Structure 1
């Protein structure tokens, strides 16, 4: 959620199974900005959604084991996901798709059953991102048989990066795009930066209760283990999977918020931090990524220059 002292124009709407937020520094450009954003997000959904039988990634799965020529958009999304996997040593891995489905997240979140009685055996270690082969100049990709992709750890953040850049270039003004709490900014920022409320649930963030930080460039992302949850065989599970086990990570952090050069980098790091557990603060500090981690007991840990809490 954003908040600002100076007049800005903003709109919220549903997209990609979450809330999309758009803020621009030129109020008269909001209508065209909204149309452009809807077009961008529609293209991302048609290309990358694992919940649509007619998506391009679904077609890629149907031709598993064979080279498939993909669109420039899917090629870009896959490259971002594979770079994230390599940069984190596999802590973030797009081949966890089957594990996520086994936990019950096999359709849009609004449609999944919130209490699934049937037990599930963890899928085990993810097949591994390195098994995805590609000839990028030809845009030919091979997904091995039995491998199901899930771009959830990078997809929405990459979409926010891409959309904010496109809109700022087309409109010539400052743009903030938020998708499910993942925020990317481009163009001229408001005086003092874009004020962003950092809350446990982006849809309910409150500047009178939650910390507010200023974002001048790049991206900000929050990974949470308490918002998108459901019950499976008597235990609470969520959408973040440890690729090393195929199961949810051991409970440690309620939320991890990271600032980085891009929203995709920020979300990659926040997801990896949830998977790492107690090792996360040192891992983030080593990479000089400002972060705010909230433990299961409410303890707040700040690393790499994340600012102290201040009144709104």
Structure 2
């Protein structure tokens, strides 16, 4: 783990980061004395989430459900929680964010951890529409889940966001301080924020540093997410593809927006909005506007659209 101290409004903030799920987990606390214990707690929580929901661990609960397609499989309450979140996101987004996209991702070549995938070139495969989230059968009373033959679940669109929400609120309650959890761009905030709020960077592309194109806003609570087509991409045959799938085609979404950022009550809510934006392109605008959530969209040509009161300047707060 890498630890550091930064200053927000002349107050010391403890920060720790470590690799997770092919990306980086960052934890920021307003109580520097609690950072070591909180970091250990976060690592344990994320390990449990991975054991339940990773598509790349052969013995994870999700892998077992996929391997036993056609039969009910007993799962843990943790898995049921993450599945319920994924199904709700599918319903809210009218199917744009669909957890049955696993087979489409495999067909695109995303069949291994991204850190391994980007080292090679994926082979072209036949692309088909996904089965759709309504085929998933959940028996909450018995604690079982069943997917039809040929269906592969994937929680990549919601699991990081849900993990960030759970961890931020649990750590804030446990340590009684302000918390920000950032899982590769899926950010959840809980507890008392620093004066002026937490500074959050919405990037315009793959580079996310302070000097790179983007905008910094101040957020006091809730969740922030950025989805994009400039990261988690690889070569499939002679073309470049990325990890956000259009359920109706099974193909990577056309690049209408290169990035979409949103602020909402939870990180899951924000991520549902940003993923829907990437999947639906211009057709997502009425849906996004109807939520009233602050949203920042960067087009393929670099033009920027702001919705829901997203601030025009970097110093404005939600």
| Bin for the TM-score computed over the shorter chain | over 0.9
**How far, CA to CA, are the matches of 1:13 and 1:89 in structure 2?**
35
* Structure 2 Cα separation of the partners of residues 218 and 304 of structure 1: 15
5+ residue gaps, structure 2, are 1-5
Matched, 1:91 2:93: no
Give the aligned partner of residue 298 of structure 1. Answer: 302
Residue 53 (1) aligns with residue 55 (2): no
Query: Unaligned regions of 5+ residues in structure 1, if any?
Result: none
> Structure 1 residues 117, 203: CA separation in 2 closer, same or farther (over 3 Å shift)?
closer
1:251 aligns to what? 255
| Deviation at residue 64 of structure 1 after TM alignment | 1.5
Structure 1 distance, partners of 2:222, 2:208, is: 23
2:19 aligned to 14, 21, 29, which one?
14
CA–CA distance in 2 between the matches of 1:249 and 1:194? Answer: 31
Paired residues in the alignment total 310
- TM-score under structure 1 length normalisation: 0.95
Q: Which residue of 2 aligns with 1:189?
A: 193
Q: Which residue of 56, 61, 65 maps to 2:70?
A: 65
Larger relative strand fraction:
2
Cα offset, 1:273, TM superposition: 0.6
> RMSD of aligned C-alpha atoms?
1.8
Q: Distance in 1 between matches of 2:190 and 2:254?
A: 36
Partner of 2:151: 147
Residue 200 and residue 275 in structure 1: after superposition, are their counterparts in 2 closer, same or farther (change >3 A)?
A: same
Identify which range, 207-216 or 102-111, moves more after superposition.
Answer: 207-216
- Which structure is higher in RCO with an 8 Å CA cutoff and minimum separation 6? 1
Match of 2:288 in 1: 284
Name which of 124, 139, 152 aligns with 1:119. Answer: 124
Q: 2:220 is matched with which residue?
A: 216
Give the Å deviation of 1:120: 2.4
Q: Distance in 2 between matches of 1:208 and 1:237?
A: 23
- Cα contact 1:65–1:145 (8 A) shared by 2: yes
Against the structure 1 CA distance between its residues 126 and 208, is the aligned structure 2 distance closer, same or farther, given a 3 Å change threshold? closer
Instruction: Calculate the TM-score normalised by the size of structure 2.
Output: 0.93
Instruction: Describe the SS at the equivalent of 1:50.
Output: coil
Aligned CA distance change for structure 1 residues 117 and 17 (closer, same or farther; 3 Å): closer
